[in-house]
Structure 1
């Protein structure tokens, strides 16, 4: 662990009031890029995900949940009781010295603490203030609680996920949270550039529902253009054929033929050039129309040989294909290692940042913090408090 010579966000301070996943994932990325992220947590309990185990890394009081570890490296933990006036006052002082605030309380709750955008803007006009909620700051659902699972359901994502004739299904990770965190990072960096150029900050309103609907991309576009509700295709694609799983002699794999040229090459590989010249299959629109006929023809051939044989043959010919790995297999893949996607952070293995910047690469400088680990350091460094003052705040339950 160390600091690059010139981190992209060196000198930028983030005051992070968020917890669980969307907000912490956002601020971890900012921390990976060099920002000083101060994670503000409730005294005694902290971020909800600290208790979301097993599995745990470490033992006893030093144990950290794997869930907490996934989104909280490169941060300093400060405990503050925002229900106390002294805690809120310390938060305001810290916000006055920060460039970015991230929070994911229910709309209006931070304002109720005297820590809303307008409150902090008066102290720090250049402040970039990002609010992440389930449904946004406005609209008829703005005061509804919105966890990832609810958003996957309400956005339409579950309606298009799962077996073609089965039940709606959620994605296997909290993808709505992750997407919201990524959209938040992009918005924050744009607002930060504006603030640095003009001295004017702004309030960013990120909603999980908004970002998940935006991430429906071609499916939403198909619906808007056609007026038809999309159906579930299971492991097939609504607009491209063949683009799905096939069963080989010893297991399944994914085939992703994206154009007519690739399809012609595929037919040659399979010893079925007649399929490429068949009017039912010669173009992608035709293949979509006669999907079932084509899939039956291909399935018969793919069932003859094992997965590894098909992988070698297809990839050598430039046809996109891949095995269906388990998570352990994906993490153990030699390409995963070659890309540096797993790193040891203290006692715990973690997924490293996937961002590859040639001059200012992300660096892990800090392990995910224990609750309140940096409270004294932050208060002494940024607010000039001495050890006695910090001890008094701790005795009063402020930190």
Structure 2
């Protein structure tokens, strides 16, 4: 497809953002990769989403779909991870398409891909080939197992990362099988690390003029999210397992029922415990010799026999909102909110974390940018591109191709 409409992010506001002037080629699909380039786009980079003309990102079919009054249905899922980008179609299997990507690389600062390692090399478009076109190129590769090691060529999904990174084995309840984390945390974590790595590599380019490969794996990323599990094993031989909503050694610190749902309570320090006892009208319990110190409350038997029943008695008389109001700024207590409650949370609104993005001609609320920069102001967010929506303008503006040259590429099936 070679449509041509103005990119939503190409205005003066985009040019004033921190990464304005940075050109990113996004050759990724689904989330591990698109989320990385979306973060760069939110910060002002000119992100060009590269898709095959006959086989675009299949996340475009993921629900929920939004049906506009006069426009074809579009995926809100896809739009959430591809906002602020421009779209181009390139057939990387064709000779002309390969040559076209190399021309684009000459004008780019970053290329992000999430193919299985070796795929780009088979296409003749690996880093060693592309760096000949642009030695300053930062080549960010996201994969299940990374570009090195005995498992590098294995296929992977988010659940793969959760499984082989150890997180799956730690989640759930001790008397039941392990449970995956309820979001695609492997994809998301890898994208976040890839973003950090990309920015670090760009800083190196500024100093040395040399690009490099940023190699991020889902397994590696998940492993770093296991908190104390690794050092517990390497120092004490302890194997972390499912703990439900409990912490391995900090107590009380977890989920507790109340009148209309559940809250998180983390008042495990002596200060917070004293304030909690006062808040519920029983200050003398802060001096109870069995539970008067943090170390005593850490004991699993004491926590279950004395502390938990006490908290459940206190909390059962109040609703989530009442408990939050009582705790205020003094004690770490938060309602365990449903997604609708989060979306409508006044604090989330004040932080501009729910934004409206056009999807199929309709306005759809989705998460905003968690990065708040004091010198930049709120980051304007634009819609996701249709497949190849900006092909003609990108080829004309970035490569200087005229209409005839672009039409020849279309006729050859290269775009």
TM bin, normalised by shorter chain, reads over 0.9
For residues 186 and 327 of structure 2, what CA distance do their matches in structure 1 show? 33
Match of 2:95 among 85, 88, 98: 85
Match of 2:354 among 333, 342, 346: 342
Q: Secondary structure at the match of 1:330?
A: helix
Match of 1:332 among 338, 341, 344: 344
Moved more, 387-396 or 274-283: 274-283
Partner of 2:310: 297
Q: Does 1:310 pair with 2:340?
A: no
Partner of 1:225: 235
Q: TM-score, normalised on structure 1? A: 0.95
The alpha-carbon deviation at position 154 of structure 1 amounts to 1.8
- Over aligned residues, Cα RMSD in angstroms? 1.8
The alpha-carbon deviation at position 322 of structure 1 amounts to 1.3
Distance 1:22 1:280, change over 3 A: farther
Partner of 1:263: 273
For residues 29 and 78 of structure 2, what CA distance do their matches in structure 1 show? 10
Distance 1:361 1:87, change over 3 A: farther
For residues 412 and 346 of structure 2, what CA distance do their matches in structure 1 show? 53
Q: Secondary structure at the match of 2:328?
A: helix
For residues 70 and 57 of structure 1, what CA distance do their matches in structure 2 show? 16
Contact (CA 8 Å) 2:139, 2:214: kept in 1 or not? yes
Contact (CA 8 Å) 2:14, 2:380: kept in 1 or not? no
Contact (CA 8 Å) 1:33, 1:362: kept in 2 or not? no
The alpha-carbon deviation at position 48 of structure 1 amounts to 1.7
Match of 1:381 among 385, 397, 404: 397
Contact (CA 8 Å) 2:98, 2:125: kept in 1 or not? yes
Partner of 2:5: none
Partner of 1:40: 50
Distance 1:199 1:5, change over 3 A: closer
For residues 231 and 366 of structure 1, what CA distance do their matches in structure 2 show? 43
The alpha-carbon deviation at position 361 of structure 1 amounts to 4.2
The alpha-carbon deviation at position 362 of structure 1 amounts to 5.9
State the aligned residue count.
Answer: 398
Q: Does 1:320 pair with 2:332?
A: yes
The alpha-carbon deviation at position 365 of structure 1 amounts to 5.2
Q: Secondary structure at the match of 1:70?
A: helix
Distance 1:60 1:132, change over 3 A: farther
Q: Structure 1: which 5+ residue stretches go unaligned?
A: none
Q: Does 1:240 pair with 2:250?
A: yes
Match of 2:387 among 339, 349, 371: 371
Q: Does 1:195 pair with 2:205?
A: yes
Moved more, 4-13 or 18-27: 4-13
Spell out the pairing of 1:1-399 with structure 2 (5 A cutoff).
3=13, 6-56=16-66, 58=68, 62-289=72-299, 290-293=302-305, 294-315=307-328, 318-346=330-358, 347=362, 348-361=364-377, 363-364=379-380, 366-399=382-415
For residues 320 and 87 of structure 2, what CA distance do their matches in structure 1 show? 48
Distance 1:257 1:220, change over 3 A: farther
For residues 20 and 163 of structure 1, what CA distance do their matches in structure 2 show? 30
The alpha-carbon deviation at position 364 of structure 1 amounts to 3.2
